[in-house]
C-alpha cells in the first residue's frame, strides 16, 4: 500500500509539472521527498463534514446565500463551500481558477453537471461583472447553479481534501535545495500529525493556495524579490521540531507572518488583515467548531 501511494503521488508530481521550468533539475529531486505525504491522508465522512463546515464558516460566516457571491474588490465570482473562483471570458487573473477544476473533479466522480456547464472545457463565468451578477442574482441559471452547489457539498469536500493531499509533492517539486525540501516535508508532517482532521492544511490551501504559481506573488520593493503567500511559504517559515499543540501554534504564527508580508508588498490588502489573522487563529485549535452547511431547503432565502 505504501509503495502504491508513492507511485500515485509521483505520478501527480509529473503530471502537474509537465513543462514547468523546474523540470531541468528533476533528476536531482529525492524521490522519497517528492512523494512525501501522510500515509493515510483520508478522513472519515463525519470528520470531513466538520472540516467542510469550518471552511464554510470561514468563507461566508455561515451565510447560505453566499454559496454564490461576487465580492466588491474582486473581478471574479466565488462559488461553493470553498468559494472556488471563476473568471469571466477574457478576464485573466494572477490567481488559480479553482471552480473549473472542482467541476472537472465532480464530473470525474460521475456527478451530472447542469447542461450549460457540462462542456469541455468548462465554460467561463457567464456573468461579466459584479453588477451583471447582481442583476441576475435570481435568474433561472443562477437559481439552478445554487441548487447544484448545495446538492454537491460532499463532493466539494472531497475535492478540498484531495487538493490538500496533492499539495506536498507539488510544493517539493518547486524547491531546488535538498535541505529546504526536507525542512518543508518535516514541517508538513508536524502539522498533519498535530491535527487529526488536517484542517489547518486543508483550509490554508483553499484560503491562499499551495504557493507554487509564479503569478501568485507580489514584489518586495526593498529586496526586489517576488514573494508568495501560500502553504509553501508558510512551511518554509517554520523552524521548530516540537509536535502537538506547539506545531499548530507555530503554523498559525507562520501563516500570519506570511500574510503580513503580503500586506506589506500589497498595502491595499491591509483591510483584510483582521479577518485573515482571525482565520489563522483557528489553526491553533485542536477541535473544529461547527456551522450549518447550506441545504436545498434553503434555496429561496433572499439576500438582506
Co-location of 27 and 132 in the same domain: no
Domain boundary among 155, 182, 205: 155
CA-only gyration radius of the chain, Å: 19
Low-confidence ranges of the chain (pLDDT < 70): 1-41, 289-304
Number of structural domains found in the chain: 2
For residue 218, list its beta bridge partners: 227
At residue 47, the pLDDT reads 87
In a domain, 300, yes or no: no
Place of cell 433572499: 302
Residues 146, 170: one domain? no
- Integer CA distances (angstroms), 152 to 17, 69, 79, 131, 296, in order: 29, 17, 12, 27, 10
Give the separation between CA 107 and CA 152, rounded to whole angstroms: 11
* Same domain for 274 and 188: yes
For residue 247, tell me if it sits in a domain: yes
Tell me, yes or no, whether 172 and 268 share the same domain.
Answer: yes
The pLDDT value recorded for residue 295 is: 56
**What are the grid coordinates assigned to 281, written together?**
487563529
Query: What pLDDT does residue 30 have?
Result: 45
In a domain, 108, yes or no: yes
CA–centroid distance for 187 within its chain? 18
Same-domain check for residues 143 and 210: no
Does 246 reside within a domain?
yes
Residue 254: which domain range? 7-13+22-44+165-284
Cell of 203: 483550509
Is 127 found in the same domain as 212?
Answer: no
71 and 151 both lie in a single domain: yes
Question: What pLDDT is attached to residue 292?
Answer: 63
Amino acid at each position: 500500500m505504501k509503495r502504491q501511494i508513492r507511485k500515485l503521488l509521483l505520478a501527480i508530481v509529473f503530471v502537474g509539472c509537465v513543462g514547468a521550468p523546474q523540470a531541468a533539475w528533476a533528476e536531482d529531486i529525492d524521490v522519497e521527498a517528492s512523494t512525501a505525504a501522510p500515509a493515510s491522508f483520508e478522513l472519515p465522512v463525519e470528520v470531513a463534514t466538520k472540516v467542510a463546515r469550518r471552511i464554510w464558516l470561514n468563507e461566508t460566516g455561515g451565510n447560505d446565500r453566499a454559496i454564490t457571491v461576487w465580492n466588491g474588490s474582486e473581478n471574479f465570482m466565488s462559488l461553493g463551500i470553498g468559494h472556488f473562483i471563476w473568471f469571466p471570458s477574457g478576464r485573466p487573473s494572477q490567481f488559480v481558477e479553482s471552480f473549473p477544476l472542482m467541476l472537472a473533479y465532480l464530473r470525474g466522480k460521475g456527478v451530472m453537471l447542469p447542461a450549460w456547464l457540462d462542456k469541455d472545457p468548462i465554460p467561463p463565468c457567464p456573468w461579466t461583472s459584479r453588477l451583471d451578477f447582481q442583476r441576475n442574482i435570481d435568474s433561472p441559471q443562477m437559481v439552478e447553479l445554487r441548487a447544484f452547489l448545495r446538492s454537491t457539498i460532499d463532493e466539494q469536500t472531497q475535492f478540498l481534501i484531495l487538493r490538500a493531499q496533492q499539495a506536498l509533492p507539488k510544493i517539493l517539486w518547486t524547491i531546488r535545495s535538498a535541505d529546504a525540501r526536507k525542512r518543508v516535508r518535516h514541517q508538513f508532517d508536524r502539522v498533519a500529525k498535530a491535527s487529526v482532521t488536517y484542517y489547518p492544511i486543508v483550509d490554508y490551501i483553499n484560503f491562499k493556495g499551495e504557493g507554487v504559481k509564479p503569478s501568485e506573488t507580489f514584489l518586495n520593493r526593498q529586496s526586489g524579490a517576488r514573494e508568495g503567500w501560500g502553504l509553501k511559504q508558510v512551511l518554509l517559515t517554520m523552524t521548530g521540531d516540537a509536535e502537538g499543540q506547539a506545531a499548530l501554534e507555530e503554523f498559525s504564527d507562520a501563516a500570519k507572518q506570511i500574510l503580513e508580508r503580503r500586506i506589506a508588498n500589497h498595502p491595499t490588502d491591509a483591510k483584510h488583515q483582521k479577518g485573515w489573522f482571525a482565520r489563522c487563529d483557528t489553526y491553533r485549535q485542536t477541535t473544529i467548531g461547527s456551522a450549518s452547511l447550506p441545504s436545498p431547503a434553503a434555496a429561496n432565502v433572499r439576500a438582506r
